Chains A and B, each alone.
Chain A
Amino acid sequence: MSTNTESDVGKGNSVHPGKPVMVDRYTGGARINHWITAGSLVLLALSGLSLFHPRLFFLSALFGGGQLVRAIHPWIGVVLFFSFLGLFLRFWKLNLWKREDGTWLARVRDVLTAHDERLPEVGKYNAGQKLVFWSMSILIIVLITSGVVIWDEYFAAYTTIEQKRWAVLVHSIAAILAISVWITHVYAAIWVKGTIRGMVRGSVTGGWAWRYHRKWLRELVAKPPAKDEKRTAAE
């Protein structure tokens, strides 16, 4: 069944032989979805941090002052939630934990020293990327839930002050974790050259896929090309 292959390799992913080989990794829709999520996360981090610590209050000037930060931040949160939901629905199957992920993670030393040849072959995502995916999923649910509880403009009447105290504590801790996961995620993309073009232009080189996601590349190559073209045309 074609859906089976799709969930193993990702929608619209295909190989274009040549020199170098090019591999489609993200559709236009996935990329737009990703960058809306990224943009709103950065805006949330900046606006949230301006309230987090007095030394960072100056960041509120980016949004036109504290009153505007207070008013806008939760709305950007709503955008983030729905846009991340889009990413989640696109990618959750590809992020399910597989046997090789444990092995990959156990060899984290080789990961960090770029000995990719010593790592097991992995599919579209490696264990590190999966951890980023799942921790962000959980943290964003925690952030929207606790965020709504402290969104006094509209929801002040629905919870007690004691519940709001817990919510603001949970919200700030979850925000710190989310920002830290985000730093890791961005760093990984910068460190592993050729990754960012996957999310900007939508494609990576064959060598990149071979080095970091060989199982994914093999599956793509094994995929009958005819079916592939039909689907791309239909989209």
Chain B
Amino acid sequence: MFPPVPNPSTGPQSPKFGEQDLMRRSASNVTPPAERQTEVAKLIDVSKCIGCKACQAACIEWNDTHPEIEENVGVYENPHDLTPDMFTLMRFTEWENPETNNLEWLIRKDGCMHCEDPGCLKACPAPGAIVQYSNGVVDFVHENCIGCGYCIKGCPFNIPRISQVDHTAYKCTLCSDRIAVGQGPACAKACPTQAIVYGTKEEMKKHAEGRITDLKSRGFANAGLYDPPGVGGTHVMYVLHHADKPEIYAGLPNNPTISPIVEAWKGMTKYAGLAVMGVAAVTGFLHYMVNGPNRVSEEDEEAAERLTGDRSS
């Protein structure tokens, strides 16, 4: 097993990362720090999860959110979806394995993947509402958020949710406030089976390898790591027993990328758009400079007087 993050000292500590470690800042240009911090990651081993939702409870506890009490409609998901008050959600799938005819109960902890190339940040129009630290954490900064919902369109995983209370976007922070002072994420801390572990990205990959070898030896030939390259890799990774078909885990995208529509909107459209409007304005200006105003002449007025004069006579 992976050694749990040790309990922190109780004395005051200064945060291990902050403003000076920003790699990306929405709608702004930042100079990335010369040296990158060691990348961190959370590894979620789906094969070890027992669906107890201790992680959800810990997340609510630490972030002090208050998800609405809902009706029981006969499914295990609770609440029904990610919400502005529920940053992580256990999604349950009953899947019949066609090879073994066994019913497999797949449980996946859904939440922000902390993409290396975050679509949410790319889409965001508000300066500094989304930031990415050099250790890989993607965080939402609520003071700067305008609640437009562009991040929802940018995200390939359908994660951000807009609060109807303060009209800003919410999602998993990877417990940036905890890991900054050397504690693990609340969910990892609470998980009783160590299905969620936290450490550097390298450590997590190595730990995953061991798990995958173990799963393969138990007959899961397609066991593997989910660290999708289409978004540059993620800082939340999964060990899946069926890594060849991630979509069976409640629709985990197979090879996610930032949507080409979003790329077109945030790329070409911006440059071409500013150019088209600029050309329209400049053309008008130059036309005026060259031709001068188009004026009515005396003869025109006289012609009109003759025309109306005809009528009155």
- Enumerate chain A interface residues (CB-CB to B < 8 A): 15, 17, 19-21, 51-54, 57, 60, 65-67, 69-71, 112-114, 116, 150, 152-153, 156, 161-162, 164-166, 168-169, 172-173, 176-177, 179-180, 183-184, 187, 190-194, 205-211, 217-218, 221-222, 225
Contacts and interface: CB of A to CB of B under 8 A. Distances in A.
A161 B158 contact: yes
10 contacts: A70-B147, A112-B291, A161-B153, A168-B150, A179-B280, A183-B281, A191-B291, A206-B304, A207-B300, A207-B301
Nearest to A166: B261
Interface string B263-290: 0110001101110110011001001100
A172 B265 contact: yes
B269 A57 contact: no
Interface in B166-193: 167
A207 B303 contact: yes
A21 B311 CA distance: 12
B296 A54 contact: no
Given A172-B273, A173-B273, A221-B311, A207 B304 contact: yes
Listed residue (B144, B146, B261, B265) with the most chain A CB atoms within 10 angstroms of its CB: B146
Nearest to B305: A21
A51 B26 CA distance: 12
A114 B294 contact: yes
Contact of A112 (B162, B270, B287, B312): B287
B246 interface: no
B280 A152 contact: no
A41 to B, nearest CB: 14
A147 to B, nearest CB: 12
Main secondary structure of the interface of B (DSSP, over half): helix
B287 A17 contact: no
Nearest to B309: A17
Interface of B: 27-28, 125-127, 144, 146-150, 152-153, 158, 162, 167, 259, 261-262, 264-265, 269-270, 272-274, 276-277, 280-281, 284, 287-288, 291, 293-298, 300-305, 307-312
A169 B262 CA distance: 8
Contacts of A180: 276-277, 280
A133 B144 CA distance: 39
A219 to B, nearest CB: 11
A183 B284 contact: yes
Contact of B127 (A57, A168, A172): A57
Nearest to B147: A70
A54 B266 CA distance: 11
Contact of B261 (A165, A179, A192, A193): A165
Nearest to A65: B146
A165 B304 contact: no
Nearest to A160: B158
B271 to A, nearest CB: 9
